[in-house]
Structure 1
Amino acid sequence: MRLLFVQYAGDYREAAQRLAAGGSETYYAQRYSVDTVAEMRETTEEVTVLCCMTKEPYNEVLHNGVRAIGAGFDKDIQVNKLIKLIEEQKPTHLIMRTPIREVFRWAINNKIPTIATFAESVSRRGLRSKLRNFLLTNLLNNKQIEWVGAYGVNSAILFQKIGVKPDKIIPWDFIATDTPDSFSPKKLPDCGKSWELFYIGSMIEAKGVGDALEALARLKVKNFPVRLKIAGRDEKDYFLNKAKQLKIEDYVDFLGLVPNSSVLPLMREADIVLVPSRHEYPEGFPLAITHALCARTPIIASDHPMFLDNLKNGVSAMIFSSANPIALSDCIEKLLSNPELYWSLSVESYEAWKQLQIPVKWADMIKHWLNNSPGNKQWLFEHSLSSGRYNMNSAREK
């Protein structure tokens, strides 16, 4: 068996070498993901990870026996070059972590057993998205694409809504390394100098970073005492410059990339965690929400479709209209002015976290597929979206 993983970003070589040298995880479950791939070497002839977005092209076998290939793409994927790299590996089994239609079509034409394990959902907004979804769905429903893994139940349901057959969709999650058991509920602290807001994630407008800055600027005009910490890579200082334009740079701390081990402490120290994603961003289910629930720090989130079945306004989070900085600032002010509401959100975080847990972990799905026995096939079917295991009304597991 020659197993090939294809992913858009997330340089496997860099991550494996850093972790082997004693470095820190830069995102949640990174070591779990790296080690899971390496474990596949025990039962296969070769395991290869092909990453599209890398600083340079490379092809080498790492210390753990995994072959890592960097395509060296910068902004756009060169499909013909990507297909050539795939063909050179002569894979017998393919795991797609990104929805590149041309690769699925190649796998179908070459009769390569394939599964998808998508970490992001799909957008249904606009005619262009609907056309993309139609074309992708036709490929995913082909019998050669044996299973379609989706990160979280809501994302799985969205794939069903665009037309993927529910009996081949499997909701999955990463292994839970943190739980809310380590922390007690939080009371709204006295203001002191200022309350602290916290954001972590991609530094792009679609994630609502600009909306958070504009909300902060509005609060500063009202002399409402808040600061904002932002963790993430700010390419070309785009948001730093925006903060300067809004005259709030003295109230924003740009932390850059932070080790995964620092995320939970940073969230626990914060008074509010912001998850302001706009609807156009194809969220699966952001780890920021899972981390915040573990830290028992109240969440203010947008009304992104991927959040609404798991976060209830005024119960487990405060919800505002996405892309609306005024609504966001009003939510912040309301929550930080209401100790009873603050306490109740923190208390409810444990129950909200429990309801997010699902039985299939990323490694489980892959291992059961590769083993390919009748029992393993039955296990996968019993965890599919059509199994009756999941409450389709609330998008929570029964």
Structure 2
Amino acid sequence: MHCVFIQTGHYADAYRRFAEGGAETYRDQRASVQFVADLLDRSDLTRVTTVSTTGPHQDELAPGLISEGIARDQDAGALLDRLAPDRLILRLPHLPLIKAAKARNIPTLPCFADLFQQGGPRTRWTNWQLMRALRNGPFPCVANHSLNASQTLKDVLRLDPSRIVPWDWARLRNVAPARTGLHDATAPCAFYAGALSEDKGVGDCLRAVQQTPGLRMTFAGGGDLDHWRAEAAQMDVAGRVDFIGLIPHDQVRAQMATHDMVIVPSRHSYPEGLPNVIYEALASRSPLILSDHPAFRGRLTPGTDCLEFAASDSVALAGAMAQIVADQSLFSHLSTASEVGLEGLYIGMEWNDLVTQFLDDPQNQTGWVTANSLTRLT
């Protein structure tokens, strides 16, 4: 049996980095890469191919373990005809691939991490096509990351909730002890991790720092560092912000622990899922401030395990930062409650279990879809 994964990430790069002792760039990356490689230990699998939309490449990483890259506009039917998969795990909502898999009756697990929104006419047309393609066919279910993104499959794509399966990564086990206050009351500091872009709220953070005297902020992530350093200089906060670029995953949690608060400022325009940085922030026990992005809304309780502000509103963000700095009892309360908040985020199947269940029973003969569906879990 030949199993094919199609995704955005470059599997071969990660596989080789880990083989050489390199670090993860996000939580559970090493475990998911190893899980895919270990599938060849199954007696019913003879070949596993990972296909990324990162541009052409082809490598045999181990006997039977193939990594290749394609252009995103690759002809979907020709790709599937060439690969001839017996099982397909589709990790992005790529409409031509969904249609091609359906036309060829290939058992397929659509397994997304995407928040679907109504949007304008073009988005609504794409949503309608996705709905039509996913409503029936060789798909035992449609999986999506966590609760809010899964609910958009029902509310936006109008899929049957009994066929929607939420999934998540493995639980974080190493939760730090609760904290009682700032590291240094005279030098409060905040931390951000993620892509450096306006839609992710980086500019809003800079404007909030501008309005919060004495506050420093560190930004970790990929993007145009020179652009953002120039923006900081123009706002006259260059001496209070630090853009450190991409750092290994294990350093992200360490940075969170050495800062007084973690900011997740995504604007509504950013196609966010429920990012790992929220889980990591809660596990670090540094108070979390997050925007009211639809992907996060309702998953935590503002004032109990986080503070929330209106996305794109730097004044509101600055006010939340000032609350953390000024109120030690609030700081202690948020830190103490963060462990319960973290546990409450987990819903649905772990990703490894989801893929294993699909490989074992792609026709859902055992009823695993219903048992783990949105209908059963909410």
TM-score under structure 1 length normalisation: 0.89
User: Where does residue 371 of structure 2 map in the other structure?
Assistant: 382
Letter in 1 for 2:161: P
1:315 Cα offset (Å): 1.4
Deviation at 1:357, TM superposition (A): 2.0
Q: Deviation at 1:131?
A: 2.3
Residue in 1 that maps onto 2:160: 165
**Partner SS, residue 230 of structure 1:** strand
Cα gap change, 1:379/1:146 in structure 2, threshold over 3 Å: closer, same or farther? closer
Q: 3-state SS of the aligned residue for 2:219?
A: strand
Summarize the Cα distance change of 1:282–1:330 in structure 2 as closer, same or farther, 3 Å threshold: same
1:199 paired residue among 192, 197, 201? 192
Deviation at 1:34, TM superposition (A): 0.2
Following superposition, the deviation at residue 246 of structure 1 comes to 1.6
User: Which residue of structure 1 aligns with residue 51 of structure 2?
Assistant: 50
Q: Secondary structure at the match of 1:67?
A: strand
Contact 2:99 2:133 in 1 (8 A): yes
User: Structure 1 205/116 Cα, relative in aligned 2: closer, same or farther at 3 Å?
Assistant: same
Determine the C-alpha separation between the residues in 2 that align with 1:38 and 1:279: 36
Aligned 8 A contact 1:2 1:91 in 2: yes
1:394 match: none
The 5-angstrom pairing of residues 88-237 of structure 1 reads 88-162=82-156, 163-180=158-175, 182-192=176-186, 194-219=187-212, 224-235=213-224, 237=226
The one-character-per-residue Cα deviations of 1:223-273 (angstroms, maximum 9, x if unpaired) are x11111111012363322222222222211111111111111111111010
Contact 2:143–2:167 (Cα < 8 Å) also in 1: yes
In the TM superposition, what is the alpha-carbon distance from 1:188 to its structure 2 partner?
A: 3.3
2:247, 2:210 → 1: CA distance? 25
Q: Distance in 2 between matches of 1:189 and 1:38?
A: 43
Structure-2 change in CA distance of 1:147 and 1:278 (3 Å): same
Where does residue 17 of structure 1 map in the other structure?
Answer: 16
Tell me how far apart the structure 1 counterparts of residues 324 and 159 of structure 2 sit (CA, whole Å): 40
Partners of 1:169 and 1:51 lie apart in 2 by 25
CA contact (8 A) 1:115 1:145 kept: yes
Out of 269, 281, 284, the residue aligned to residue 295 of structure 1 is 284
Cα 1:179–1:357, aligned 2, differ >3 Å: closer, same or farther? farther
Q: What per-residue deviation string (whole Å, max 9, x for no partner) do you get for residues 324-354 of structure 1? A: 1111111111221111111111111011011
Q: SS where residue 60 of structure 1 aligns?
A: strand
The 8 Å contact of residues 79 and 102 in structure 1, kept in 2 or not, is answered as no
Percent sequence identity over matched residues?
Answer: 31
> Which of 270-279 and 120-129 deviates more?
120-129
Q: Which amino acid aligns with 1:125?
A: G
Which residue is 1:34 aligned to?
A: 33
Query: Which moved further from structure 2: 363-372 or 329-338?
Result: 329-338
How far did residue 374 of structure 1 move? 8.2
Divergent runs of 4+, >6 A: 373-376
1:119-143 CA-partner distances (Å, limit 9, x unpaired): 2222333333222222112112123
Q: Distance in 2 between matches of 1:64 and 1:329?
A: 54
Q: How big is the shift at 1:147?
A: 1.6
Across the two proteins, how many residue pairs are aligned to each other? 375
Q: In the aligned structure 2, how far is the partner of 1:254 from the partner of 1:64? A: 42
| 1:369–1:380 Cα contact (<8 Å) kept | no
- Match of residue 396 from structure 1: none
Give the 5 Å matches for 1:241-320. 241-320=230-309
SS in 1 for 2:141: strand
Tell me how far apart the structure 1 counterparts of residues 168 and 150 of structure 2 sit (CA, whole Å): 11
Q: Give me the CA root mean square deviation.
A: 1.8
TM-score (norm 2): 0.94
Cα distance, 1:236–1:319 mapped onto 2, change above 3 Å: closer
Decide whether aligned partners of structure 1 residues 14 and 334 sit closer, same or farther in structure 2, where only a CA change above 3 A counts.
same
Distance in 1 between the 2:217 and 2:365 partners? 48
SS in 1 for 2:189: strand
State the distance in 1 between where 2:82 and 2:208 align.
51
DSSP-derived class of the 1:336 partner = helix
Displacement of 1:362 after TM fit? 0.4
Deviations 1:188-236 (A, max 9, x none): 34423x21110001122211111111211222xxxx1111111101236
